[in-house]
Amino acid sequence: MQDAPTSPQSEAAYDETLLIRDARKEDEELLLGRARGYRVEKVIGRGSFGAVFLARDGEQLQRVIKAVEVQRAKPSHSVHQEVAVMKCLRHPHIIRFRDSFIEKDLLCIVMDFAPAGDLLLRVDAARRASKPSLPEEQTVQWFVQAVAGVKYMHSLCIIHRDIKNENLFLESEVHLRIGDFGLAKRLKRVTEIFVEQQIVGTPLYLSPEVCAKGMYSAASDLWALGCCLFELCSLSLPFEAMNLPSLLVKITSMTTPPRPSGHCSEELADICAWLLTKSRQGRPTAIEVFQHPFLRAIADEAIRRRPKAVEAVDVAAAAEPEVVPGGYPKRREDCLAKKSRVAFGTPGPCAGPEDAALRAGPEDQAARSTSRPRSLSPDSQSPSYEGLQAAARLGVAGLSEASLREVLPETW
């Protein structure tokens, strides 16, 4: 990259060149998708590998266009995987895929727009208003809809891997849709467990088995749902810390499932603790959560009111698991005696363009009271497990954040 000039005159010329370049780029972005009948209205989100636009289609309906620079995204197949996953999902509580196309080295994904924002905005607004929690009736309604979407995904052997309140979008105050499938993965069977060498997801919502061994399964999504429910009930997350190593120590060393501290019913607190069971096998499946007596009546009413979900075609049927208590198959590695140890996950830079378009405007986003690490993806430069463990030891020893950065280049 060419160094910026140092003299005042050359600096002014350099700045002017940058402004002209940015202006031309913005003009080109406004023409994105024009040949396919889309008219971009504005940019509403940017990431490491692209941007998110609010647009209108040929019928003047608002859509979101997520444009990813395929050449810069590594591995590029993860971008195409998002399209493949979204194409086969058709459910009232999942953001609807509409179209995809390639234009000027950009892979563009067109999806529905959720104008009412996301659940994290609701949490932050309640916190700023000094409320103890969100109304339980509304919380339960949102939660049941989120569980319905996850249950549908898992029935198609798809796991999300980045469920959080920031990705639970509101089409209206009473209609929730799950979005941002950039980290979703297709499994061979619903009970499959696989290990990633580099962790993906949002650290505050990572399950103990993901933090410890990078072990992903459908149970990881249920843990994340538990974190979402906890946050809606108490306006705080079950595990929070000043730095990453401390956070991961809390997650991996917890013994008793945390319970929400807000004003919620015992039944809802029990469901939250059930989802936040440390053992993967002890957690319920989405089907079991849906069948919980406290939620069943609400779920039945929601099913009665909503349009029937259109099942995806050409998708392998989910294999029937060998059910054990908790709903997940018993695995040999969980029976082996384990030495007492602590292993850790990883934070990282922004994972690229998110479905930021489905949130409220910049003013509301700026008012968010939480400063959170972004999602990790294979595209981000995540440290290895060895580096994570070394950083965790430094963190436990109480060393400064500057010392941690020597081992972990990207933290919060």
Active site residues: 162
For residue 94, the cross-strand partners are 178
Provide the b/e sequence for 37-55 (b: ≥16 CB within 10 Å).
ebebeebbbebbbbbbbbb
CA-only gyration radius of the chain, Å: 22
Cis before 75 (ω within 30): yes
In angstroms, the Cα distances linking 282 to 217, 285, 336, 406 are: 13, 10, 16, 37
In angstroms, the Cα distances linking 201 to 160, 234, 282, 300 are: 9, 22, 22, 31
CA distance 306 to 370: 33
Residue 262 contacts by C-beta under 8 Å, 6 or more apart in sequence? 132, 133, 233, 234, 235
Provide the b/e sequence for 126-136 (b: ≥16 CB within 10 Å).
bbeeeeebbeb
104: annotated binding-site residue?
no
Helix (H) or strand (E) holding 178: strand 175-178
Distance between alpha carbon 195 and the CA centroid of its chain, in Å?
A: 18
DSSP 277-320: -SSGGGSPPHHHHHT-HHHHHHHHHHHHHSPPPPPPSS-PPPPP
Q: Dig out the tokens for 315 from the structure.
A: 């998708």
CA distance 412 to 409: 10
For residue 285, the cross-strand partners are none
Binding-site residues for ATP, in ranges, read 66
Binding residues, by number, are 66
